[in-house]
Structure 1
Amino acid sequence: MTGPNQTPIGTMMCTQNQPTQNVNCLTRKVSFVFYCAPLDESNSMYEAAYGSGDVTHRAITSSASYLNNLPFVVVDADTNQVIYPYNNANGQTAAFGPKVHSNTLHDGARWVHSLPPINIPNHVNRIALHIANDAYQGYRRFQLFPWTVPNSAHCRVNVYELRSDLQERFSDANQLGQSPAENTLAAKPGSADEYYGYLNGDVWLSISHEFTDQEITRLCPPETLSRTAQGGGNTERLDVNWTVVLQPIYGAGVNSRSMAPFNVRIDALGITAKFTERAVANAVYTSNRTTVQQALRRTSPRAFAALLKAAWRVRIDTVDLSSSWRPMLGSRLHKMGVGLDVTHFDDGQENIHFVIRNQGIADRGNAFPASPGGRRLEALYEELRGDPGVSSGAVHTPWRSWVIPHDNHMHITVKFE
């Protein structure tokens, strides 16, 4: 038998009336190619569905989807044993590599990721993927594309990421026949040893981890916050149970798919979280069933806790949020529920109302504005950078620590574990 990193050395056939002996079984390889979702703007299929110039139903805006460094594993679908990466004894995951450009699928420019060919052990009949936060050991709850591997030397599986509402149009335009059932693969018409499946918003909903109350407590244990009293004097302290404090956020938007803005009052901290209009558009409009609450509950409690804690310490009483969990826009961070975007904040007592937006290229990487709002943003930025739950170097603003595309918001990335 061949090992996972070996190829067969041959097959020995015996003469007539003698048994046939297979010295080695055929080594099967599978290559996965992921075609990430394109922007809705100038997407002919989007325009056919909603009309040219429609912006109401747009979900994939400003940054097309890509999957650089997204964690994944391939498992034996019957035993759940990891077969790739080959070195996985300590829970290691593999990661998507760099993206390349493609414009061949009749719906606009896409980023494409090709995973390395994966050797399928001879004893394995069916395989499946785990991706994003579902790839981590202890979180593997959803098998992506469980599939019986054909007895072919090398198969290719094309995974097309796309909005659920455009799936049938995509199948027709690319002559793929009837769309496969959700989370299944189908043979690609006219292509030997080639298969395809759809990674749509409904499948992303199933993949992505929904944080439970028990996990909120584990990731954000109760703590005592402190800050300097106004005007000096004694230090103010506040005991916080994050499982309780975050319930108004995680309880918002039950059974709702509305794009209207909404406010969540956090009474324990005296802070209002304002979710802007279309803050969850990417989660809701790429799926046929995702609700506002389901999007919020797929955002790590560490993200909300870090922002609210920092805001309380620097006496900000309102924060505007434009994006949390979103499966099909930009990088892996929001897909994995560890990213949060802030566009505006207020301090009503000192009449500070600050829009987080620079004035152009010259501001990128430079000091914060010298205004009261700019100084308050700097204090918020420093508090976030010092939070142990925030990833190192992962607070980006239109000024300090600028990276594309953060000209009009502050981005925070927290640690998943």
Structure 2
Amino acid sequence: MTAPKYVSARDGKKNSVIYVDKDGKEYLHSGGTRAWRNNNPGNLSKAEKSGLAIGVGGPFAVFPDHETGKAALKFVLLSVYKNTRLDNVFEKYAPAKDNNDPEHYTKLVKKFTGLESSRTIGSLNSAELDKFMGAIERVEGWKEGKVEAIPFAQQFELKGVNGKPMSGIDYIIRFFTSDGAEQKIKGKTDEKGKTDVAVTEERASVSLDLPRPDPGQSLKGSGAKAGAKTDPTKRVEAACVNSKPWYAFAFGNADECLTEAKNKSGSAAASEKESAQKSPPKTDTPSKKEKAEAPPPEAPVATVKQSGAIKASATVDKAENKVSTVVKEPGVFVTWEFDTTHGSEKNLKGLPYIVVQVDGNSTTPLVADQKVRILDDKKKIRQKVPFGKTVALHLGNDAKKRYRKRPLYQVTAEDGLTDIVVKIEEWGGLNYVAQREIPDLTEETGTKKIYKARLYGTTWFNFSHKFTVEEAAELTSEAPAAVQQAVASIYRGDPQVSASTIRLNVQKPDGSIMKITWQSSAFSNCREHIPAITDLESAKRELIPRVNPNTYQAFIQAAFEMGAQEMEITSGWRPMLGSVLHRIGVGLDVGSIKVNGNVRQYQRSSTSEETALSTLRAEKATLEKKKNRTPAENTRLNTLKAEEPAAITRAQNAVAPLEHADLKSFTTKLRANAEVRQTFDPWQMESNTADKAAPTTNILSNGNEVLHKTHLHITVFDEELGHGH
């Protein structure tokens, strides 16, 4: 798991420091030593001048991580103590007036480092300075404590007209998780009128639904129709607030309570069931169950107050909320749903997006400082929108802050609505109708509106950014000069078009020429779905520059490093084939390379060992699906399960020798490039170059592995779009 990138910090309670990451998520560092809690191995004071601190914890500076804390210590030693003898450093660094013992400090550091006391800080080489700083860290004390994310939570308390708690009231708490799953917590308010605590992990909109009584009836059924029961299907949203950090939990030792609270909101299916637990027997010693059900620490609470009885004679009043919405943040839930049945038929998981507010010709994130998000498996984007706001989506690399030129699927959150659904159908072929990109109202039921819109190949084309030569120069500025020049020539329009290919000659660092070729087939998907792409000239002008310059940079740099003579690109940007990586410009496919006069193809056939493994797995799957297996079939199934690991090993061992050294060299150089995060080829599958794990062998055992038996795929890193982590 990638460590959070902290941007600010502050002191917490009970020997703790609260860190905040770039997305606003808070983490508690508790226990351990002050040096560890502050990421400050030298316990530098808050007055230190390195400029690297992100906050203050106690009288000391707080740094985002240990390495930054070391960098700050190094800065202080070299800027303040550079000409100071080692045996005099701690008279000022740890003076006696601050209850330190500088003499003892000096002796310990000398013991740990073995450095001569007469030397100065400035005379130490890099290794010696590291050793000196390590000794300071050891003396100051570096003992790790506990790091945990501070959860977000929300609780409600219900009060009657008289201000007294309303107990025993049925309620439903609703919220959505970060992956779009709706969670529900059902229950009855306790004697204090409080609900359970909804733990949302990150900031989320939390709604409270309460019964809506018939006219003249109170929430407890004690009005004009005393004794009558409220229809459980008649409910109103009584409150909707954003969950808040649960500091009381974070500062308390309440792991069991958090587990209990999480369990109550853990899954939509489980939370739909109302528990009816029997009272535990009374004993002198509390049982484990009683301890686990201890009330959680005080959670953030929103108060909801009953507004009064509904008049029996006023029909119009039936629609009014029985509970005043003094804490309600009004708005409409807008959901954009994607359906690719008529287009690529592919899951759009990973598609970057951001929800924006539209004001004339400009857009701004609906939620302040909102980062680009990526579509999950559910193919839905859901956002609560304040009444009166017009919202839209920026998709793909158009979601990046510096672009955002094509807002799509715009709707307005009209007052009186509760839900808007925009059903977006991906539509293949060349029949592009721009008007159908605009949401068209197809159904209106009560407080819900349903729209339909289309996503064409031309839609993908229009919102995908076309990079300029200036942008290419900016994005590749840290690459070697020859690589920068080669990449610039692509966006400058230097490639030459012939009858069936596009070719580009680029100069290598040694002065020789390397040829890059795009076959006509590299653009076939675009010709099938984008009317504007009619020939190779239009492909050169409009498609090749839609690939991120860092993708070409990594490709060319690895080719230069191995002395390649020719490189064949089989696919770049495309709208309706494969995953979203090609559609957002971070994917590139390579068909072959030419080295030392020899052409090497990224292509292979299945081995006999892979065929045997596939046959074994097919037979095993057939038997596993059978509901009523015979004893002989059970025996056979167990045999297949026992044989499968060895069959996998044989398939893996058969593949490794098939990869030519030239191809392996090129792929290895790609993986060493900081811009590259994935490489998939006929022999190896590397899903994350940053995780230090070795690539897995491609044994053609799933769809992704089979897809890459004919080419090498490269994915480059794009942090803002959420790809390449």
TM-score, structure 1 as length reference: 0.71
1:251 shift after superposition? 4.5
Question: Which residue identity is paired with 2:339?
Answer: Y
Structure 2 residue runs of 5 or longer lacking an equivalent are 1-203, 209-236, 240-306, 315-319, 611-650, 686-697, 699-703, 720-725
* Counterpart in the other structure of 1:118: 383
* Counterpart in the other structure of 1:296: 544
Higher RCO (Cα < 8 Å, 6 or more apart): 1
Computing the radius of gyration over CA atoms, which structure comes out larger, 1 or 2? 2
How far apart in 2 are the matches of 1:358 and 1:255?
30
The answer to which of 193-202 and 157-166 deviates more is 157-166
Question: Which residue identity is paired with 1:240?
Answer: A
How far apart in 2 are the matches of 1:388 and 1:26?
46
1:296 shift after superposition? 0.9
1:209 corresponds, among 450, 459, 465, to: 465
> Cα 1:180–1:384, aligned 2, differ >3 Å: closer, same or farther?
closer
Deviations, residues 311-331 of structure 1 (Å, cap 9, x unaligned): 111121111111101122111
2:681 is equivalent to residue 397 of structure 1: yes
2:352 corresponds, among 34, 54, 71, to: 71
2:432 is equivalent to residue 184 of structure 1: no
Report which of the two has the higher share of helix: 2
Contact 1:66 1:329 in 2 (8 A): no
Question: Which residue identity is paired with 2:363?
Answer: N
2:398 is equivalent to residue 131 of structure 1: no
How far apart in 2 are the matches of 1:162 and 1:294?
21
Contact 2:467 2:491 in 1 (8 A): no
Q: Name the SS for the 2:525 alignment partner.
A: helix
How far apart in 2 are the matches of 1:285 and 1:259?
19
1:272 shift after superposition? 0.9
* Counterpart in the other structure of 1:80: 363
Question: Which residue identity is paired with 1:34?
Answer: F
Question: Which residue identity is paired with 2:683?
Answer: W
1:253 shift after superposition? 9.3
Q: Name the SS for the 1:266 alignment partner.
A: strand
Q: Name the SS for the 2:363 alignment partner.
A: coil
1:166 shift after superposition? 3.8
> Cα 1:255–1:322, aligned 2, differ >3 Å: closer, same or farther?
closer
2:560 is equivalent to residue 312 of structure 1: yes
Contact 2:548 2:585 in 1 (8 A): yes
Question: Which residue identity is paired with 1:249?
Answer: I
How far apart in 2 are the matches of 1:274 and 1:72?
33
How far apart in 1 are the matches of 2:499 and 2:528?
9
* Counterpart in the other structure of 1:142: 406
2:378 is equivalent to residue 378 of structure 1: no
Contact 1:367 1:400 in 2 (8 A): no
1:134 shift after superposition? 1.7
2:642 is equivalent to residue 356 of structure 1: no
* Counterpart in the other structure of 1:153: 418
Q: Name the SS for the 1:97 alignment partner.
A: coil
Deviations, residues 280-299 of structure 1 (Å, cap 9, x unaligned): 12233312224312111110
How far apart in 2 are the matches of 1:410 and 1:284?
22
* Counterpart in the other structure of 1:265: 505
How far apart in 1 are the matches of 2:654 and 2:468?
39
Contact 1:29 1:153 in 2 (8 A): yes
Structure 1 residue runs of 5 or longer lacking an equivalent are 40-59, 100-112, 168-178, 225-238
1:388 shift after superposition? 0.9
Contact 1:261 1:279 in 2 (8 A): no
Q: Name the SS for the 1:345 alignment partner.
A: strand
Contact 1:4 1:121 in 2 (8 A): no
Contact 1:395 1:411 in 2 (8 A): yes
How far apart in 2 are the matches of 1:396 and 1:35?
27
Question: Which residue identity is paired with 1:114?
Answer: K
1:141 shift after superposition? 2.2
How far apart in 1 are the matches of 2:516 and 2:654?
26
1:366 shift after superposition? 5.8
2:454 is equivalent to residue 198 of structure 1: yes
Deviations, residues 324-369 of structure 1 (Å, cap 9, x unaligned): 011221111101100000011112xx33111111221657766876
State the aligned residue count: 338
1:186 shift after superposition? 0.7
Q: Name the SS for the 1:30 alignment partner.
A: strand
Contact 2:495 2:503 in 1 (8 A): no
2:584 is equivalent to residue 336 of structure 1: yes
Question: Which residue identity is paired with 1:395?
Answer: T
1:378 shift after superposition? 0.8
How far apart in 1 are the matches of 2:238 and 2:444?
31
Q: Name the SS for the 2:684 alignment partner.
A: coil
Contact 1:222 1:240 in 2 (8 A): no
2:522 corresponds, among 262, 279, 291, to: 279
Question: 1:42-57 residue pairs with structure 2 within 5 A?
Answer: none
1:259 shift after superposition? 9.0
CA-based RMSD of the aligned residues comes to 3.5
Q: Name the SS for the 2:557 alignment partner.
A: helix
Question: Which residue identity is paired with 1:33?
Answer: E
How far apart in 2 are the matches of 1:118 and 1:131?
15
1:150 shift after superposition? 4.1
Contact 2:443 2:449 in 1 (8 A): no
Q: Name the SS for the 1:81 alignment partner.
A: strand
Contact 2:676 2:716 in 1 (8 A): yes
1:345 corresponds, among 593, 600, 620, to: 593
Deviations, residues 37-95 of structure 1 (Å, cap 9, x unaligned): 556xxxxxxxxxxxxxxxxxxxx6xxx43311222111111263323xx5x63x42222
Contact 1:326 1:334 in 2 (8 A): yes
2:477 corresponds, among 221, 224, 231, to: 221
Contact 1:259 1:281 in 2 (8 A): no
Contact 1:273 1:319 in 2 (8 A): yes
> Cα 1:122–1:149, aligned 2, differ >3 Å: closer, same or farther?
closer
How far apart in 2 are the matches of 1:367 and 1:390?
27
Question: Which residue identity is paired with 1:381?
Answer: T
2:689 is equivalent to residue 387 of structure 1: no
2:491 corresponds, among 241, 244, 250, to: 250
Q: Among all aligned residue pairs of Structure 1 and Structure 2, give the percentage whose two residues are the same amino acid.
A: 22
* Counterpart in the other structure of 1:171: none
> Cα 1:255–1:380, aligned 2, differ >3 Å: closer, same or farther?
closer
How far apart in 2 are the matches of 1:259 and 1:333?
29
How far apart in 1 are the matches of 2:371 and 2:430?
35
